[in-house]
Structure 1
């Protein structure tokens, strides 16, 4: 029984010296001491090199989960441009079973009328990976049956992005105001289609607001675990400053309802910061 929790990245400036080292190249290794999953958002913008991915593999434990976003030229072309997909699949091979799912985040312009293209795409993909789809047209949430049937037929999961708590009241910080303009206002969805549900949750900069907003998810995730599912829950906040710590708090709250769930390991201590200058006698 495993619950995986994680953030939208494994390195952030505000985390340096707190969750990850202030310098060096082992930040993923330190992040993996706090969380056991991560969203691979950078792969949306550019396919990494094979050496880069091999470096990720060397730092991530065997039970760590990467949910990697498919390249945007694939997902944002209604799947008419898949020329780079073979190279993408090749370079992520060093991650092996750590690739929990390949995630197609579709634009708001992708609507129910485009489902045949999604169906053709999913059916052409190799069965060596699992797949997940995030849609941003509200029409899918109001009439979900066609998309649910397509995903069920292809074994893919529907990834909801819960932004309901974030948009409940107006923003109060620069980070929240920025997110207010960029994040999608999505209807709430709490159903799972497969044995590996993936949830993306956006809270607020205030910890109490973030925790209050995820309260509905705690019993849902606990039920999934009791059903034998293996969920992954990603915590976002507008500034993400406390996100690794919040992930562990969510895990603890679920574990309080599911005592058989093993606790996350304690994070290892960070290396001592390097001195700013040469040593002195005084």
Structure 2
């Protein structure tokens, strides 16, 4: 029985991390991470091998496909680029938990054929997770059902980005105001399609508001674990200052109700900086 938790990044100026090997330090706090850097460019195999070397065997990356594939080409005519990307991330081996296909808000129900074709032609042996942002997928039950059918054909997961807590109150900081402008405002999803549900939850810069808002998600994760599923939950806040500790707190909240859940590692202590 395992719950993976993590953040949207593995380094932050406010987190207690050494000057080098920040990923190794992060992996002593959390057992998963969103690999957002791959969205902007395909890394070298050497770089990815370094990621693998800094993480234990049971650590999990949810690796975002490059924007060239998902946004610019919109999943069409990308066979060469996809092969190159999969070759680059080979060093992750089993640490590669899922290939994360984050689609732009303009990717609408009329584009479902492109998604279906991409998933049908994509190499087997990988787990695929799709994040959509067009409102129709959330507001129209028939459209949601069509998307679920496309995903079910290849046992792919629908990744919800839960922003309900973020939008419950007006912004009180620059970071929250920025998040209000950029994050999707859609209804909450609690339905898992596969044995490996993935949820991205964004709260507020206020810790208590963030914790209060995830009560439903603790319930969902407890239920999923009871059903034999292995969920992954990523904790965000607008400024992500407290995200590292919040990820561990979420895991602790679930473990208080599921004592058999494997614990997270103990964080590695970071020596304070010295003058010499």
Shorter chain as denominator, the TM-score bin is: over 0.9
Distance 1:265 1:91 in 2: 28
Q: For 1:29, which of 18, 24, 27 is the aligned residue?
A: 24
Name 1:58's counterpart in structure 2.
Answer: 53
How far off its partner does 1:140 sit? 0.9
What residue in structure 2 maps to residue 103 of structure 1? 100
Deviation at 1:81, TM superposition (A): 4.2
Q: Which residue of 2 aligns with 1:119?
A: 116
Alignment TM-score, normalising by the size of structure 1: 0.94
1:136 aligns with 2:133: yes
Looking at CA atoms only, which structure, 1 or 2, has the larger radius of gyration? 1
Task: Summarize deviations over 1:118-174 as a string: whole Å, max 9, x none.
Answer: 000001111121000000011112221100111011110000000001011110011
| Matched residue, 2:275 | 276
3-state SS of 1:101 partner: strand
Count of residues in correspondence between the two structures: 271
Distance 2:133 2:187 in 1: 9
Which among 70, 76, 80 is matched to residue 76 of structure 2? 80
Distance 1:187 1:81 in 2: 32
Give the stretch that moved more between structures: 204-213 or 83-92: 83-92
Structure 1 segments (4+ residues) deviating >3 Å: none
- For residue 153 of structure 2, give the secondary structure of its aligned residue in structure 1: helix
Give the alignment's TM-score, normalised by structure 2: 0.96
- Give the equivalent residue in structure 2 for 1:280: none
Could you tell me how far apart the structure 1 residues matched to 2:136 and 2:74 are?
A: 17
Q: CA deviation at 1:272?
A: 4.2
Which deviates more, 229-238 or 77-86? Answer: 77-86
Q: How does 1:215-234 map to 2 (within 5 A)?
A: 215-234=215-234
DSSP 3-state at the match of 1:260: coil
CA offsets 1:75-126 (integer angstroms, 9 cap, x no match): 1122124142111100100000000000000011111111111000001111
Instruction: Report if aligned partners of 1:73, 1:81 keep a CA contact under 8 Å in 2.
Output: no
Matches of residues 1-282 of structure 1 in structure 2 within 5 Å?
A: 1-15=1-15, 18=16, 20-21=17-18, 23-24=19-20, 26-76=21-71, 77-82=73-78, 83-141=80-138, 142-143=140-141, 144-273=144-273, 275-277=274-276
Counterparts of 1:91 and 1:176 in 2: how far apart (Å)? Answer: 35
Q: Does the 8 Å CA contact 2:199/2:233 hold for their aligned counterparts?
A: yes
State the SS of the aligned residue for 1:257: coil
How many Å separate the matches in 2 of 1:80 and 1:260?
44
Q: SS where residue 99 of structure 2 aligns?
A: strand
In the alignment, the residues of structure 2 paired with residue 168 and residue 268 of structure 1 have an alpha-carbon distance, to the nearest angstrom, of 36
- CA root-mean-square deviation: 1.0
Q: Output the CA distance in 2 between the equivalents of 1:58 and 1:259.
A: 30
- Which ranges in structure 1 are unaligned for 5 or more consecutive residues? 278-282
